[in-house]
Amino acid sequence: MREITEADFDEQVVKAARPVLVEFTAEWCGPCKQLAPVLRAIAEEERERLDVVAIDVDANPETAVKYGVLSMPTLMVFKGGEPVWSRVGARPKRRLLEELAGTI
């Protein structure tokens, strides 16, 4: 899982050749910290077909506003430069993989 910023969001997410799971996160967010190991595991297990990145909403507020992010963590899958799936809140790895199954 990589950290990205507004400066490289377009390159890493919008222009990506394959699906990208983006976590909109914040340093102060407890559920984000709970979700971090789950996302690291998914990034490793699904590395052949999915990129996983995180963007800090406090340091990158314009991107959060652009995509209507109001709560953390917000997860979005981007395909072809557009968000195609979105969920708010932490969840167990098995449930997250089930939810992602149709989008990656």
Which residues have a catalytic role annotated? 29, 32
> Domains of the chain: which residue ranges?
2-90
| Per-residue pLDDT reduced to its tens digit, 50-79 | 999 999 999 999 999 999 999 999 999 999
Q: Does this model's pTM top 0.75? A: yes
How far, in Å, CA of 54 to CA of 83, rounded? 15
Instruction: Say what the pLDDT of residue 15 is.
Output: 97
- Please state, in angstroms and as integers, the Cα–Cα distance from residue 34 to each residue in 11, 52, 70, 80, 91, following that order: 28, 16, 19, 29, 9
**Segment 90-98 mean pLDDT:** 95
Q: Which CATH class is domain 2-90?
A: alpha beta
Residue 104 has pLDDT above 90, yes or no: no
Residue 46 Ramachandran class (φ > 0 left, ψ -120 to 50 alpha, else beta): alpha
Q: Is the bond preceding residue 19 a cis peptide, omega within 30 degrees? A: no
Residue 102 CB: number of other CB atoms within 10 A?
9
| Per-residue pLDDT reduced to its tens digit, 10-40 | 999 999 999 999 999 999 999 999 999 999 9
**Segment 68-97 mean pLDDT:** 96
